[in-house]
Amino acid sequence: MTEPLQVALVTGASRGIGRAIALDLAKQKYTVLVNYKSREADAANVVAEITQAGGTAFAMCADVAKEEDVVSLFRGIKQKFGELHALVNNAGITDDGFLMMMSSQKWDKVIAANLRSVFLCCREGMKLMARRNKGVIVNLSSTSGLTGQDGQLNYSASKGGIITFTKGLAREAAKNSIRANVVCPGFIDTEMTKQIPRELLLKYIEMIPLRRLGTPEEVAALVSFLVSDKAAYITGKSFVIDGGLTPI
């Protein structure tokens, strides 16, 4: 008997945490839509890795900070698959700087990539999910969105916005039996943390009770759980995965 098609879109899935989430969802038998903005070769590698392991995946190019790209992306999903079962909003950037030296352009760029993208994708994703009164949304935030971080107020504001946006979304979406939750990673071993000067990173690691960075695969496992039916009674919640760093 053929298993019913389960379609999951992961934004920013060509590398890092997004890549790990795409690979893990494929293991859970999802058809994974690997979204990317400019890293076509990396996205193709993720798709190849999934298909070589016996899964199904497609690369889908879109700048999720742009409304026209997002509308086109979801129109394509509707035409090809008819529906969407899971949406994981992972795409995001940093462009750090202290407030008094931060340009409006730098602020707007990070807010658009991190927060506007979540609004746009959730809006269009909800339209597909509401047609069948079922679906799951997981938005990736950060511990910076919980505590704030000096030197990156744009990033902290965008990630904090994702948390409160998702709490409100969960209340609206519940009317259509759609769940929405947030995952807040701390220091994870990705390209982003590799940009931190080594001595500073070691100081941060000393502050983490587990004394190590997290892995993208550990974040992916949490996301896959929240997407699964095992989390069927969980919505509107924020889950911190940071080795015990954040005191909340």
Kindly list the catalytic residues. 155
d(CA 221, CA 25): 9
d(CA 18, CA 93): 13
**CB burial string 151-164: b at 16+ within 10 A, e below:** ebbbbbbbbbbbbe
CA distances to 28, 166, 248 from 235, rounded to whole Å, are 20, 9, 19
Phi-psi region of 211 (alpha: psi -120 to 50; beta: other; left: phi over 0): left
CA distances to 3, 66, 84, 179 from 183, rounded to whole Å, are 28, 23, 20, 13
**CB burial string 81-100: b at 16+ within 10 A, e below:** beebbbbbbbbbbbeebeee
Put the strands of the sheet holding 238-241 in their side by side order: 56-61, 31-36, 7-10, 86-89, 135-140, 178-185, 238-241
Question: If residue 1 lies in a helix (H) or strand (E), which one and from where to where?
Answer: none
